[in-house]
Each structure stands twice: as structure tokens, then as C-alpha cells.
């Protein structure tokens, strides 16, 4: 694949894992199933927003949200449980790192 030389950071754009905050990453299902990458990023907790089994239940703590890809879906119903999960993770250790996948 030829990457255009137009100033856009295509490397970051195509990355399966994006760092949002020092202890928070966002990525897709492929990244969520890539244990070496998750370990490399220091991930300790995963917020799963799609159906399916947890990929590595012995390695990470999971919060599974039953969500749907619809403009009518009431995502706000998950805000409190998500906040609580993140808060608990951050209180467990300063080294806690959370990965959210969609």
C-alpha cells in the first residue's frame, strides 16, 4: 500500500489501538483479540461493547456491555456502570490500564 505524502498521520489512522489518555485505549475487535498488543500496552481491564465471549478471562478483567449499533440505542444507560468499572480499576492500582473495544 502506498501511503500518500499529504501530512496526514496514516500510521496512527490504521493502528488497531489508539491511546486516548495515559491509562485509556480504544480499539477494534482485532486489537481486543491481540493478547501481545494488549499486554504491551499494559492493559489490565477491558470494556467490551459487542456480543461474544471474553477473549482472555484469565488475563484481564472485563466489563461486558450489551449494546447495539443503532441510532436509537440508549447508550447512556451504560454510563454509570462503565464509570464505576473505570473508577474501580483506577483505584486498584496506579498502573491500571483500560482498553475499550467496539
List pLDDT tens digits, range 47-93. Answer: 998 877 778 999 999 999 988 888 898 989 999 999 999 999 999 99
How many residues comprise the chain?
A: 102
Topology of domain 10-101, CATH: 3.90.190
Q: What is the largest CA-CA distance in the chain?
A: 45
Q: Where are the chain's structural domains?
A: 10-101
Q: Please give the torsion angle defined by the CA atoms of residues 60, 64, 24 and 31, in that order, rounded to the nearest 10 degrees.
A: 70
For the record, the C-alpha cell of 49 comes out as 461493547
Q: Is 56 exposed, middle or buried (0-12, 13-18, 19+ CB in 10 A)?
A: middle
Give pTM, 2 decimals.
0.80
For the record, the C-alpha cell of 51 comes out as 456480543
Supply the mean pLDDT for the chain: 84
Amino acid at each position: 500500500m502506498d501511503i500518500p505524502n499529504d501530512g496526514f498521520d496514516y500510521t496512527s489512522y490504521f493502528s488497531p489501538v489508539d491511546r486516548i489518555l495515559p491509562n485509556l485505549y480504544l480499539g477494534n475487535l482485532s486489537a481486543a483479540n491481540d493478547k501481545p498488543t494488549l499486554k504491551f500496552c499494559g492493559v489490565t481491564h477491558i470494556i467490551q461493547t459487542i456480543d461474544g465471549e471474553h477473549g482472555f478471562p484469565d488475563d484481564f478483567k472485563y466489563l461486558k456491555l450489551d449494546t447495539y449499533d443503532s441510532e436509537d440505542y440508549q447508550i447512556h444507560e451504560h454510563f454509570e456502570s462503565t464509570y464505576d468499572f473505570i473508577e474501580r480499576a483506577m483505584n486498584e492500582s496506579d498502573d491500571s490500564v483500560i482498553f475499550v473495544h467496539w
